[in-house]
Amino acid sequence: MTIQQDILYQSPEGETAVPNIGQAVPRRGGRFAKNFARLTMRLFGWRVEGVLPNDGKLLIIGAPHTSNWDWVLVMLTAYSLGVRISWMAKHTLFKKPSGGLMRWLGGIAIDRRAKHGTVQQAITSFKEKEKLILCITPEGTRSKVREWKQGFYHIAQGADVPVVVAAFDYGRKAVRLGPTFKPSGNLEADLPIIKSFYDGVVPRHPHYSFSQATPQ
């Protein structure tokens, strides 16, 4: 597994760090949206640490995922950076009247009944789009889990895209971006290394954390 250990950009306590974003990264949002997101994070004492690779296609895994507030942090972080992100959801959620809004927010409809499965649908999305940042929670649920779902790893391999490790640290009130890695193809060897970057990260609900999680 190849790892890019980015130097973390840390803001002063109580401020929101805004890492520089490369030209290749898909963008969205104007000045008002950025300033609103940054102000909101600052008011609640949150900040962003780390960097995103200057790449048009990235898979971001966010953990530990124990609360709906995690997705609020995801959206605030994306808007504060001016980055367009995407996420997957059941195709039934994209019906009228909410379908247009879901797509505008970055949603990608996934039909779990399809023969080619969720992983292949995600790979196809990467191959069809010129730029795509796909965000996934490897636990797949806010509840306590014993294993991470392996889909993110197979998506990254199949689409040949780098994976950015992202953490929701409620102890330090920081959203951490990085390091970045490329799968080696050996999941059993790579997964413990990936999880080690979450050591010391405090989730919103620690009793739902994956601290005892093992590969499926």
Domain count along the chain: 1
Q: Is residue 32 part of a domain?
A: yes
Q: Is residue 110 part of a domain?
A: no
Residue 141 has a pLDDT of 65
For residue 40, give its domain range: 2-87+131-204
- Report the largest interatomic distance among the alpha carbons of the chain, rounded to a whole angstrom: 50
Residue 89 has a pLDDT of 77
Residue 4 has a pLDDT of 62
Residue 115 has a pLDDT of 60
- β-pairing, 47-50 vs 174-182, is parallel
Residue 143 has a pLDDT of 65
Q: Is residue 92 part of a domain?
A: no
Q: Is residue 107 part of a domain?
A: no
Residue 214 has a pLDDT of 33
The 3-class secondary structure across the chain, one letter per residue, is CEEECCCCCCCCCCCCCCCCCCCCCCECCCHHHHHHHHHHHHHCCCEEEECCCCCCEEEEEEECCCCCHHHHHHHHHHHHHCECCEEEEEHHHHCCCCHHHHHHCCEEEECCCCCCHHHHHHHHHHHHCCCEEEEECCCCCCCCCCCCCCHHHHHHHHHCCCEEEEEEECCCCEEEEEEEEECCCCHHHHHHHHHHCCCCCCCCCHHHCCCCCCCC
Q: Is residue 124 part of a domain?
A: no
Residue 51 has a pLDDT of 83
pLDDT in tens for each of the 216 residues of the chain? 666 654 433 444 444 445 678 899 999 988 999 999 999 999 999 999 998 899 999 999 999 999 989 999 999 999 999 999 998 877 766 777 777 777 877 778 777 766 678 899 999 999 999 999 999 998 866 666 667 889 999 999 999 999 999 999 999 999 999 899 999 999 999 999 999 999 999 999 888 776 543 333
Q: Is residue 213 part of a domain?
A: no
Residue 15 has a pLDDT of 46
Single-letter residue type at 163: V
- Pair of tokens at residue 49: 């640490």
Q: Is residue 100 part of a domain?
A: no
Q: Is residue 99 part of a domain?
A: no
Q: Is the pTM of this model over 0.75?
A: yes
